[in-house]
């Protein structure tokens, strides 16, 4: 995902800067809530590889609180491991 650069280019063309991954994930979660209509969403969980680099984000969105509670419990277990 790209956004317009705050820096002017030499020739007046608009340059684009890459946004941070977390900004993209937050925008996706917001869209799940506002457009798709999911009432419950857990905070995205960054899944990392053996070198501690983020490979992907695990995102939960659902229509009821019960699923959200289950996912929160799973996330807590993962975070404490």
CA distance 54 to 78: 15
pLDDT band at 56 (very low <50, low <70, confident <90, very high): very high
**CA-based nearest residue to 33, from 47, 44, 19, 45:** 44
Signed CA dihedral, 55, 46, 50, 70: sign only: negative
pLDDT computed for residue 10 by the predictor? 61
pLDDT digits (tens, 9 = 90+) for 14-35: 666 677 888 889 999 999 999 9
pLDDT computed for residue 16 by the predictor? 60
Better pLDDT: 5 or 42: 42
Better pLDDT: 9 or 60: 60
CA distance 46 to 9: 35
Percent of the chain with pLDDT over 90: 51
User: Is pLDDT at 48 greater than 80 in this prediction?
Assistant: yes
User: Is pLDDT at 3 greater than 70 in this prediction?
Assistant: no
């Amino acid at each position: 995902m790209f956004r317009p650069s705050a820096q002017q280019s030499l020739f007046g063309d608009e340059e684009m800067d890459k946004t941070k991954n977390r900004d993209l994930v937050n925008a996706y979660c917001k869209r799940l809530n506002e457009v798709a209509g999911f009432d419950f969403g857990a905070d995205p969980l960054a899944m990392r590889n053996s070198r501690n680099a983020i490979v992907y984000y695990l995102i939960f969105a659902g229509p009821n609180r019960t699923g959200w509670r289950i996912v929160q419990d799973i996330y807590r277990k993962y975070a404490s491991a």
